[in-house]
Structure 1
Amino acid sequence: MTHSCGHQAERDLSDRAADRRAGFAEWLSKQECTDCWRAAKDGHEQEKAAWLEAKRTEEQAASEAWSEQYRMPPLEGRERAVAWGVRCRHQVLAAAYTALVLEGETSEAEWEEIEEAARTITRAGWWIDQRSSEPGDLTELLEAATGADRPTENPHF
């Protein structure tokens, strides 16, 4: 059979019911051969990977600029985790600001306190772990992470 790409291939259709062979053969002839299909698929995957890399680079630059503008301290951890953590911190805090201040009832002064607490968390992994959290939970998450409002623990246990 000749495929739409012009390549010819032999295909055993004996495993198909006799009344379905002709229709399947016609459908196959309108498709690219396996090699051409794989080559096109690989090309699309490379394009997707390049697009994703460009998107991450853009997000990273925006997150780093935001971190500098809002005096966020550098994060600690492995190099890849730090880069991801910076993006996550930016996304978590931006979403929380929108939900709590712009759309909610948190004042700018209250937000500054939240922001100060956020500055104390410099472990990249913590921000990565919070990337899917609800914006309204940020205050509680920060309190848990910083030990604020925790009862003092008995040092003998």
Structure 2
Amino acid sequence: MAVRTTWNVVHTCGHSVDHDLSNRPADKRAGFARWLGGRDCTDCWKASREADTESKEQWLATKRAEEQQAAAEWAAKFDMPTLEGPERALEWGERSRHQLMSAAHTALVVEGTWDEADWAELEEKARIISRAGWWIDQRDTEGSDLLELLDAATETDKGTENPFR
């Protein structure tokens, strides 16, 4: 007897929907159907995402502005160089750098065994990385991994030393 491919799922919104799960392996269908049952149906999910998008966008814009201001203040305080890259990536890169450096300081100095001399050495390595995209690419990593990531950075991630370029 073959494992069924169509599952009737009662979603948390109360709607009952038949889902074709034939594109999933047979041993994954029941679990996925159970997972679907813990969510709104597609129509309700889409409706809730579209509802009140203006306030969500406003909240996100406010949050990003606050993060950007904190990142700019931090960069100025700790003499971090201006990042390079496409205009649309610069602010995101600055926020990513600030968040990763803050997480690294917490993990290595505050909660770890590093002293300020160790941290100053890491800061110098971080100042060399000026490509915004590099910081964006590292945004989901653990702060404790930052030293290894900085050591692995390539020449294309590092800025030019020519101030007259």
Fold conserved between structures, TM > 0.5: yes
Distance 1:86 1:80 in 2: 11
Q: Which runs of 5+ in 2 are unaligned?
A: 1-14, 16-46, 156-165
Q: Considering only CA atoms, is the larger Rg found in Structure 1 or Structure 2?
A: 1
Identity %: 54
Counterpart of 2:32 in structure 1 is none
Match of 1:62 among 61, 67, 70: 70
Counterpart of 1:21 in structure 2 is none
Root-mean-square deviation (CA), in Å?
1.9
Moved over 3 A (4+): 40-43
Counterpart of 1:50 in structure 2 is 58
Counterpart of 2:42 in structure 1 is none
Match of 2:109 among 101, 112, 122: 101
2:126 corresponds to 1:118: yes
Distance 1:41 1:111 in 2: 43
Q: Which runs of 5+ in 1 are unaligned?
A: 1-23, 25-37, 148-157
Shift of 1:43: 5.4
**TM-score (norm. length: structure 2):** 0.63
Q: How many residues align?
A: 110
Which one-letter code corresponds to 1:55 in the other structure?
K
**TM-score (norm. length: structure 1):** 0.66
Distance 1:114 1:71 in 2: 14
Distance change (3 Å), C-alpha of 1:48 and 1:117: same
1:93-148 deviation per Cα after TM superposition (whole angstroms, max 9, x unaligned): 0000000000000110000000000000000000000001111111111111167x
